[in-house]
Amino acid sequence: MNILVLVKEVPDMTKVKFDCEKGIVDRSSAESEINPFDMNALQAAVNLKNTWGASVTVLTMGPPKSERSLRDAYARGADRLIMLTDRRFGGADTCATAMTLSSAIKSMGSFDLIICGEKSVDGDTAQVGAEVAEFLDIPHAYYVENITDLNENEITVSVENICGSRQTRKLKLPALIAVTKNINSPQLPTVNRKLKSLEMEAQRMGLDDLSCFISEEDTGFRGSPTKVSKIEVPEPTRRESLIIRDDYQKFCEIMKTEIFKSRR
Ligand code: FAD
User: What is the pLDDT averaged over residues 163-179?
Assistant: 93
Please give the CATH architecture assigned to the domain spanning 2-218. Answer: 3-Layer(aba) Sandwich (3.40)
On the question of pLDDT at 263 being above 80, the answer is no
Q: What confidence score (pLDDT) does residue 164 get?
A: 75
User: What is the pLDDT averaged over residues 107-123?
Assistant: 95
Tens digit of each residue's pLDDT (9 = 90 or more) over 78-92: 999 999 999 999 999
Percent of the chain with pLDDT strictly greater than 90: 72
CA separation for the pair 191, 64 (Å, rounded): 25
Q: What confidence score (pLDDT) does residue 120 get?
A: 96
* Ligand 1 mutation target, pool 94, 131, 205, most atoms within 8 A of CB: 94
Q: What confidence score (pLDDT) does residue 102 get?
A: 98
Tens digit of each residue's pLDDT (9 = 90 or more) over 198-245: 999 999 999 999 999 999 999 999 999 998 877 777 787 877 777 777
Q: Which atom of ligand 1 is nearest the CA belonging to 122?
A: 36
Helices (H) and strands (E) in the chain, counts: 6, 13
Q: What confidence score (pLDDT) does residue 243 get?
A: 76
Q: What confidence score (pLDDT) does residue 257 get?
A: 86
Evaluate: CB of 85 within 6 angstroms of ligand 1. no
Between residues 145 and 258, the one the model is more confident about: 145
In terms of Cα–Cα distance, which of 126, 122, 131 is closest to 24? 122
Domain ranges of the chain: 2-218
E-only strand ranges, 109-196: 113-117, 140-150, 154-162, 165-172, 175-179
Tens digit of each residue's pLDDT (9 = 90 or more) over 9-28: 999 888 888 777 777 778 78
Q: What confidence score (pLDDT) does residue 170 get?
A: 97
Residue 178's beta-bridge partner residues? 116
CA 186 – ligand 1 centroid, Å: 22
Evaluate: CB of 123 within 6 angstroms of ligand 1. yes
Cβ contact 3:59 at 8 Å? no
Looking at residue 123, the DSSP 8-state letter turns out to be S
